[in-house]
């Protein structure tokens, strides 16, 4: 997708497109790009200079119940993985700010992401384009990474650096969750408890192997196939059911009741 310096496309759960502002030609272009991927479409005209970094996407995080603001595409991919991990109870971007005194100077850094897991453990993540490149000694990036290392070592906090190699290894899983999260965003606030109950009950009869989404929708969807589809995604997002999204498309994956 081409990126203009003064505008962005973002997906959210609201279809409030101002065609007078956006322009019919650009709206058509956006539709052709986004809709085949299942992304609800919102087009906004916003000066890029008001954004941090180079990212033009502002996703909605169902787990957070609000928009999240990654500062680059890799940071967005990282938040998608945290959002889609059922073991992550809560996450936050650009947090925390860490301060340590190193070599006689106060050093401060902000991590790209913080994650709290259901078992009580935490994880701090720094996202880089390339982890194999060693920053020049004394540079801003050098002190950033050193401060993070000292901080996490002092407080014994798990710490990961993730780069494009890491995200490419998880590309299928990321793309699957982006499509699923788009549906969850569109249906945010809708009461689907009955549909979730029906899906869970149905999958209990396929406890060993599970079954694909199309089977679930055909068997119990009736006139509410879309609601059944999104109810299945909600159960997956909550961790009540599981699917191998790192191995196969979400449309072809077998969904099953999650144990343990």
How many beta carbons lie within 10 A of that of residue 212, not counting itself?
A: 16
The enclosing H or E element of 67 equals strand 66-67
* Distance in angstroms (rounded) separating the CA atoms of residues 162 and 139: 20
Residue 175: predicted pLDDT:
96
Q: Residues spanned by CATH 1.10.10 within the chain?
A: 190-257
92, 98, 121 from 124: Cα distances, Å? 10, 11, 11
What is the per-residue DSSP string for 96-153? -EEEEEETTEEEEEE-SEEEEETTS-EEEEEE-S-TTSPPPTTSHHHHHHHHHHHHHH
pTM of the model: 0.78
Three-state DSSP string of 202-221: HHHCCCCCCEEHHHHHHHHC
Token pair belonging to 116: 């709290």
73, 127, 249 from 39: Cα distances, Å? 16, 25, 16
Residue 70: predicted pLDDT:
86
Residue 56: predicted pLDDT:
56
DSSP letter at 14 equals -
Dihedral, CA atoms, 221, 225, 230, 235, nearest 10 degrees? 10
Residue 1: predicted pLDDT:
32
Q: Which residues 6+ apart lie within 8 Å of 45 measured at CB?
A: 6, 7, 18, 21, 22
pLDDT tens digits in sequence order for the chain, 260 residues long: 333 333 333 333 333 333 334 344 444 544 454 444 444 433 333 344 344 445 556 688 999 888 888 888 899 999 999 999 999 999 999 888 889 999 999 999 999 999 999 999 999 999 998 888 889 999 999 999 999 999 999 999 999 999 999 999 999 999 999 999 999 999 999 999 999 999 999 999 988 889 999 999 999 988 899 999 999 999 999 999 999 999 999 999 999 999 76
So what's the architecture of 190-257 in CATH?
A: Orthogonal Bundle (1.10)
* Distance in angstroms (rounded) separating the CA atoms of residues 111 and 131: 15
* Yes or no: domain 61-168 corresponds to CATH 3.40.710.10: no
CA 172 remoteness from chain centre? 13
Q: What angle do CA 4, 82, 202 make, to 5 degrees?
A: 115
Q: Are 110 and 69 in contact (CB under 8 A)?
A: no
Residue 119: predicted pLDDT:
93
Residue 200: predicted pLDDT:
96
Residue 260: predicted pLDDT:
60
Q: Residues spanned by CATH 3.40.1350.10 within the chain?
A: 61-168
């Amino acid at each position: 997708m081409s990126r203009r310096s003064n505008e962005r496309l973002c997906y959210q759960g609201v279809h409030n497109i101002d065609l007078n502002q956006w322009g019919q030609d650009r709206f058509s272009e956006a539709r052709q790009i986004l809709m085949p991927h299942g992304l609800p479409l919102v087009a906004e005209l916003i000066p890029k200079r008001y954004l941090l970094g180079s990212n033009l996407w502002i996703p909605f995080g169902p787990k957070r119940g609000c928009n999240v603001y990654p500062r680059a595409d890799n940071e967005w991919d990282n938040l998608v993985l945290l959002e889609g991990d059922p073991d992550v109870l809560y996450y936050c971007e650009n947090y925390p700010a860490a301060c340590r005194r190193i070599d006689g100077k106060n050093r401060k850094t902000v991590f790209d992401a913080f994650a709290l897991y259901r078992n009580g453990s935490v994880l701090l993540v720094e996202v880089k384009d390339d982890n194999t490149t060693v920053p020049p000694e004394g540079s801003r990036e050098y002190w950033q990474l050193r401060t993070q290392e000292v901080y996490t070592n002092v407080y014994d906090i798990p710490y990961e650096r993730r780069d494009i190699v890491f995200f490419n290894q998880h590309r299928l899983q990321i793309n699957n969750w982006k499509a699923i999260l788009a549906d969850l965003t569109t249906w945010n606030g809708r009461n689907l408890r009955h549909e979730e109950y029906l899906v869970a009950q149905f999958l209990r009869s396929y406890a060993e192997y599970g079954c694909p989404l199309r089977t679930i929708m055909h068997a119990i969807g009736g006139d509410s196939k879309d609601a059944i589809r999104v109810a299945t995604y909600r159960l997956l997002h909550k961790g009540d059911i599981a699917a191998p999204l790192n191995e196969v498309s979400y449309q072809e994956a077998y969904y099953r009741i999650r144990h343990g």
